[in-house]
């Protein structure tokens, strides 16, 4: 059975390194520069785990300034076969309620300022041009593990969610928020893209657990504030942590040989 290693990319308020047993911190560099934080390396129920804080340890890195390529490269280099990401997000629908957890399955990309591929054609990048399929952006097998883990923890959850990714750092206008609803978005966030795309480019099984912190700006007379987001994250951070702990244990019990092979093939076949 092939070995697994799980990378965790912790989002705002959901990046607690206490998650890991027997931890140490390592400082790594990549051809793309430094990742957002030191890598916290440890083990959970026999499964090796590596954690990165997406916005840096003190939430000092804005969504457009995150070095997504360095983060994914660092996790790839250290041998991660899986990435579990956590994301705070706004809700675009009444039935996605504050504190709900969502195992994302689709995104709509509205970002425009980010390095979004390892295959840019520049001399120091990976060779060739890669057109990575994005019909199912998230790893279905790892998504199923997160669904099982969230259900077994007993939290209110959604097995699917389509997230609109905005450039930020500002929140959306009411007009934008209503437009995202018309597009079929369920949620709105700032960091899933290009993270999920880069992971797929290098053949890592990536899945995300998102948490609703607010109703964005579509409700008349109401709009998201940082204060509200922070309050909800503070009150609910334990939920995401419990799901991650359960999911990592489940990942350690499964045989991922076929999935790992499939990911490698998908990445290789996408290069022209
Ligand atoms: N993260 C948390 N809430 C958000 C919102 N309403 N829009 C974008 N990103 C968010």
3-state secondary structure 95-150: CCCCCCEEECCEEEEECCCCCCCCCCCCCCCCCCCECCCCCCCCCHHHHHHHHHHH
What pLDDT does 14 receive?
Answer: 67
CA nearest ligand 1 atom 2, residue: 89
Q: What is the ipTM of this complex?
A: 0.99
Ligand 1 atom closest to Cα of residue 168: 8
Question: What is the whole-number distance in angstroms between the Cα of residue 32 and the centre of ligand 1?
Answer: 27
- The answer, yes or no, to whether the previous bond of 153 is cis (omega within 30 of 0) is no
Q: Is 220 a catalytic residue?
A: no
Look at residue 17 and tell me whether its pLDDT is greater than 90: no
Q: What percent of the chain has pLDDT over 90?
A: 86
Cα–Cα distance between 269 and 142 in angstroms, integer? 21
| Nearest alpha-carbon partner for 31 in 111, 113, 115, 140 | 115
Instruction: Give the binding-site residues of ligand 1, using a 6 Å CB cut-off.
Output: 88-90, 166, 171, 188-190, 213-214, 216, 224, 229
CB atoms within 10 A of CB 173: 13
Look at residue 221 and tell me whether its pLDDT is greater than 90: no
Ligand 1 atom closest to Cα of residue 215: 6
Q: What is the mean pLDDT of residues 199-222?
A: 96
Look at residue 257 and tell me whether its pLDDT is greater than 90: yes
Cα–Cα distance between 245 and 150 in angstroms, integer? 10
Binding-site residues from annotation: 12, 54-55, 190-191, 214-216
CA nearest ligand 1 atom 1, residue: 89
Ligand 1 pocket test, candidate residues 171, 187, 193, 223, most atoms within 8 A of CB: 171
Ligand 1 atom closest to Cα of residue 91: 6
- Give the three-state DSSP class for 84: strand
Q: Which of 100, 125, 216, 222 is catalytic?
A: 216
Look at residue 57 and tell me whether its pLDDT is greater than 90: no
Question: What is the whole-number distance in angstroms between the Cα of residue 176 and the centre of ligand 1?
Answer: 13
Question: What is the whole-number distance in angstroms between the Cα of residue 225 and the centre of ligand 1?
Answer: 9
Residue 103 β-bridge partners? 209
Length reported for the chain: 272
| Nearest alpha-carbon partner for 105 in 158, 47, 154 | 158
B/e letters for 151-163, b = 16+ CB within 10 Å, e = fewer, are eebebebbeebbb
Q: Which of 105, 156, 214, 222 is catalytic?
A: 214
Is-contact 90 100, C-beta < 8 A?
A: no
Q: Name the CATH topology of 6-270.
A: Rossmann fold (3.40.50)
Tens-place pLDDT, residues 91-138: 999 999 999 999 999 999 999 999 999 998 888 899 989 999 999 999
> Which residues, other chains included, contact 204 with Cβ-Cβ below 8 Å and sequence gap of 6+?
7, 72, 75, 76, 80, 81, 82, 83, 263
Binding-site residues from annotation for substrate: 190, 214-216
CB atoms within 10 A of CB 270: 17
Q: Is 29 a catalytic residue?
A: no
Binding-site residues from annotation for phosphate: 12, 54-55, 191
Q: What is the mean pLDDT of residues 18-26?
A: 81
Cα–Cα distance between 56 and 15 in angstroms, integer? 9
| Nearest alpha-carbon partner for 111 in 78, 66, 143, 151 | 66
């Amino acid at each position: 059975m092939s070995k697994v290693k799980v990378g965790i990319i912790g989002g705002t308020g959901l990046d607690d390194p206490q998650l890991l047993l027997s931890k140490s911190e390592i400082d790594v560099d990549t051809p793309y520069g430094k990742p957002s934080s030191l890598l916290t390396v440890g083990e959970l129920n026999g499964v090796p785990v590596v954690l990165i804080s997406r916005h840096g340890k003190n939430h000092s890195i804005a969504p457009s300034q995150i070095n997504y390529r360095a983060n994914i490269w660092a996790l790839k280099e250290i041998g991660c076969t899986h990435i579990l990401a956590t994301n705070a997000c706004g809700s675009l629908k009444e039935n996605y309620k504050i504190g709900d957890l969502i195992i994302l399955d689709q995104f709509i990309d509205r970002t425009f300022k980010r390095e979004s591929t390892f295959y840019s054609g520049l001399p120091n990048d990976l060779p060739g041009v890669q057109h990575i399929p994005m019909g199912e952006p998230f790893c279905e097998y790892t998504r199923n593990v997160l669904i099982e883990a969230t259900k077994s923890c007993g939290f209110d959850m959604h097995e699917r969610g389509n997230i609109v990714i905005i450039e930020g750092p500002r929140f959306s206008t009411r007009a934008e928020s209503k437009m995202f609803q018309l597009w079929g978005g369920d949620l709105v966030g700032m960091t899933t893209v290009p993270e999920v795309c880069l992971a797929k480019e290098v053949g890592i099984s990536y899945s995300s657990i998102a948490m609703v912190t607010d109703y964005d700006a579509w409700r008349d007379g109401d709009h998201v504030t940082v204060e509200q987001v922070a309050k909800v994250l503070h009150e609910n951070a334990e939920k995401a942590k419990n799901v991650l702990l359960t999911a990592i244990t489940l990942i350690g019990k499964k045989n991922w040989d076929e999935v790992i092979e499939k990911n490698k093939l998908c990445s290789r076949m996408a290069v022209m």
